[in-house]
């Protein structure tokens, strides 16, 4: 087989903007949400926001943005904020005016935010009081005046506009804008978001995502989960109106933005908006709001499985645990199944450039098997082998994917666009294979494979295996240079709290290292052994979306090797 196909594409409207699709129209697969089911809930205060309030607040803000700043077609608005119940209001109000939303990580430094401002050139910057200092410094260097900085909350800074104040102002005034309906097919080219790729290698790139791409992905995921299938009892639906889902994943990241914010709302779920991840607080939130669905990343799932605090809670009411943004091993999946006894536990695959999910755990499976699932409706995939030929079932190669949700390219970066987006197909840089059941297995990032005497060793495979050991809380595997083998694997392990006191004794620490090293050697082919050693570390560096910053530990390992070599001279 040269090309792998998902089911046929569903009906996707191509003349709607995102807020028109979410707030103003109905789609055949969309379930009916009763008026008493909130759309969003603020985690800390418990404040509930419903449909009519969202529509009103979005309109009021759009009217104020037009009156105050004359925002219009293709202007860019930047949101530099943690998750907030008014985050979708800021997004949809901007879209009502035909403008583009650029989402920024609130943990950015001044230089990092400045880079994004210079790349996207926004005319208004939304932020929060906690991030105001960085926002001001970046905006000043970029040339964005203070009167175009809007604080999302009621603020102690009276000289700055606030989002609640703008909404109130906009609702008092006569309508100053005409929201237009797109022409047939225009949603495919009209840009809705500029979302930045993770930037684990090089500087982040602004990925241009159309309204159609977001709408398509929401519908694809809904059809895949058989949301509208009348043959499935409501009690057995994966997603049903009235379910409650976390929003601890950052909205500035593609997984949080499209799947968490837009898909979950589309299928009638209440979203609990959590501004910042803290595991202890998340446990309390799950219980306080009776959350039924967890959208998380593997490092969070590790804590649910291994953190002592989690053992105090009963998670039997959880019905869905969905992991993304990084590989979820079979070992961790099996551990999670014990922690969440009545829940689906699975993962999918997607990236910013594919405007999120292109595979998900198959229906009606309840437990992932280590694969990232099957292709969504409308998707097609190729596997390009090292010799450039198309691979079939079982063949390893780079994933090249297409479908209705693909991004339009990178803004102001023609070279990168031409390398990644080719004739409607996205070259992912991920090594995968498809099995006979049509499930896709991600081996690793091609550039992260460790080459041991010509053999390819996927770090994710060793990490998944080590996470199956009770001594391991978190892990990252990186290559170190070796004169004979070229490269050999080294593991950096965050030890479980239960053995912290034991490894305080250097002699005991060496025994634990030896046991973990043997654990790999007993189960893996020789070239995958931890010949580069195993070291304990306090925390594994990750970016905000949960992906391992493997390059940080790779550089650390190389420096350590250099130091040892120098000491021997």
Report the distance separating Cα 345 and Cα 370, nearest Å: 11
Domain annotation covers residue 30: no
Beta strands in 425-546 (DSSP E): 425-434, 440-445, 450-452, 455-457, 472-482, 486-495, 534-536
Say if CB 453 and CB 525 are below 8 A apart. Answer: no
CA distances from 225 to 26, 51, 367, 459 (A): 18, 24, 14, 31
| CATH value at residue 148 | 3.40.50.980
* Domain span including residue 137: 18-24+44-180
Q: Specify the pLDDT at position 447.
A: 67
Domain annotation covers residue 29: no
- Whole-model pTM: value is 0.85
The β-bridge partners of 194 are 102, 208
**Count: domains in the chain:** 3
Q: Are strands 40-42 and 76-80 parallel, antiparallel or unpaired?
A: unpaired
Residue that finishes a domain, picked among 401, 416, 444: 444
Domain annotation covers residue 33: no
- CA distance from start to end of the chain: 55
440 and 454 both lie in a single domain: no
Say if CB 418 and CB 446 are below 8 A apart. Answer: no
417 and 529 both lie in a single domain: no
353 is written with which tokens?
């450039």
321 and 361 both lie in a single domain: yes
User: CB-hemisphere CA count at 13 Å for 384?
Assistant: 12
302 and 428 both lie in a single domain: yes
SS3 of 385-414: the string is CCCCCECCCCCCEEEEEECCCCCCEECCCH
Q: Specify the pLDDT at position 201.
A: 42
| CATH value at residue 268 | 3.40.50.12780
Q: Specify the pLDDT at position 200.
A: 35
Q: Specify the pLDDT at position 243.
A: 97
Say if CB 362 and CB 439 are below 8 A apart. Answer: yes
- Provide the 10 A C-beta neighbour count for residue 396: 14
Report the distance separating Cα 270 and Cα 225, nearest Å: 18
277 and 369 both lie in a single domain: yes
Say if CB 196 and CB 206 are below 8 A apart. Answer: yes
457 and 422 both lie in a single domain: no
222 and 323 both lie in a single domain: yes
User: CB-hemisphere CA count at 13 Å for 485?
Assistant: 20
Residue that finishes a domain, picked among 415, 444, 473: 444
432 CB-near residues (< 8 Å, 6+ apart) = 383, 396, 397, 398, 399, 440, 441, 442, 443
462 and 317 both lie in a single domain: no
| CATH value at residue 551 | 3.30.300.30
Q: Specify the pLDDT at position 481.
A: 85
Domain annotation covers residue 188: no
Q: Specify the pLDDT at position 199.
A: 40
86 and 117 both lie in a single domain: yes
Residue that finishes a domain, picked among 444, 474, 494: 444
Using the Cα atoms of residue 506, residue 507, residue 512 and residue 517 in order, give the sign of their dihedral.
positive
430 and 502 both lie in a single domain: no
Backbone angles phi, psi at 428, to 5 degrees: -85, -25
280 and 383 both lie in a single domain: yes
218 and 290 both lie in a single domain: yes
Q: Specify the pLDDT at position 545.
A: 62
Domain annotation covers residue 31: no
Domain annotation covers residue 35: no
Report the distance separating Cα 118 and Cα 257, nearest Å: 22
Report the distance separating Cα 297 and Cα 102, nearest Å: 23
Domain annotation covers residue 516: yes
Mean pLDDT per 10-residue interval, the chain, length 569 residues: 91 98 96 95 96 97 98 97 97 98 91 93 96 95 96 85 96 96 97 78 81 98 94 90 95 94 97 94 97 91 90 96 84 93 95 95 93 97 93 94 97 91 93 95 77 77 90 93 83 93 94 96 87 94 77 88 75
């Amino acid at each position: 087989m040269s090309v792998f196909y998902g089911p046929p594409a569903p009906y996707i409207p191509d003349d709607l903007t995102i807020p028109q699709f979410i707030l103003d129209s109905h789609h055949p697969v969309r379930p009916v949400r009763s008026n008493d089911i909130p759309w969003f809930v603020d985690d800390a205060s418990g404040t509930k926001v419903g449909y009519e309030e969202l529509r009103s607040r979005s309109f009021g803000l759009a009217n104020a943005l037009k009156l105050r700043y004359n925002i219009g077609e293709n202007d860019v608005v930047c949101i530099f904020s943690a998750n907030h119940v008014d985050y979708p209001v800021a997004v949809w109000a901007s879209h009502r005016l035909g403008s583009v939303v650029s989402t920024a990580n609130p943990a950015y430094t001044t230089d990092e935010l400045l880079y994004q401002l210079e790349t996207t050139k926004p005319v208004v910057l939304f932020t929060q009081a906690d991030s105001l200092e960085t926002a001001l410094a970046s905006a000043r260097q970029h040339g964005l005046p203070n009167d175009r900085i809007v604080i999302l909350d009621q603020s102690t800074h009276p000289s700055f506009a606030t989002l609640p104040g703008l909404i109130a102002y906009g609702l008092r005034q006569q309508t100053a804008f005409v929201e237009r309906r797109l022409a047939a097919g225009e949603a495919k080219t009209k840009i809705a978001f500029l979302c930045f790729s993770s930037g684990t290698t090089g500087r982040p790139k602004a990925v241009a995502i159309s309204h159609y791409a977001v709408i398509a992905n929401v519908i694809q995921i809904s059809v895949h989960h058989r949301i509208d299938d009348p043959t499935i009892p409501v009690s057995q639906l994966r997603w049903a109106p009235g379910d409650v889902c976390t929003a601890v994943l950052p909205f500035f990241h593609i997984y949080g933005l499209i799947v968490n914010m837009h898909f979950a709302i589309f299928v009638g779920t209440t979203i609990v908006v959590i501004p910042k991840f803290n595991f202890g607080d998340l446990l309390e939130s799950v219980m306080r709001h009776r959350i039924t669905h967890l959208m998380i990343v593997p490092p969070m799932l590790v804590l649910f499985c291994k953190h002592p605090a989690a053992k105090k809670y009963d998670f039997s009411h959880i019905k869905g645990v969905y992991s993304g943004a990084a590989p979820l091993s079979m070992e961790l999946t099996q551990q999670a199944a014990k922690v969440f006894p009545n829940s689906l536990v699975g993962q999918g695959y997607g990236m910013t450039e594919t405007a999120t999910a292109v595979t998900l755990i198959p229906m009606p499976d309840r437990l992932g098997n280590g694969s990232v699932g099957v292709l969504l409706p409308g998707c097609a995939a190729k596997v390009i082998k090292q010799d450039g030929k198309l691979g079939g079932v079982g063949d390893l190669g780079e994933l090249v994917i297409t479908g209705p949700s693909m991004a339009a390219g990178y803004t102001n970066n023609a070279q990168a666009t031409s390398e990644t987006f080719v004739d409607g197909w996205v070259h992912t840089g991920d090594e995968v294979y498809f099995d006979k059941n049509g499930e896709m297995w991600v081996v690793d990032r091609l550039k992260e494979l460790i080459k041991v005497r010509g053999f390819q060793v996927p770090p994710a495979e060793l990490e998944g295996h080590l996470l199956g050991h009770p001594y391991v809380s978190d892990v990252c595997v990186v290559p170190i240079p070796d004169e004979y083998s070229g490269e050999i694997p080294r593991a950096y392990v965050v030890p479980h709290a239960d053995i912290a006191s034991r490894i305080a004794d250097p002699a005991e620490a060496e025994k634990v290292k030896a046991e973990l090293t043997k654990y790999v050697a007993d189960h893996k082919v020789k070239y995958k052994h931890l010949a580069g050693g195993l070291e304990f570390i306090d925390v594994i560096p990750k970016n905000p979306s949960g992906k391992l910053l493997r390059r940080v530990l790779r550089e650390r390992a190389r420096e350590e090797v250099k130091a040892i070599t120098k000491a021997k001279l």
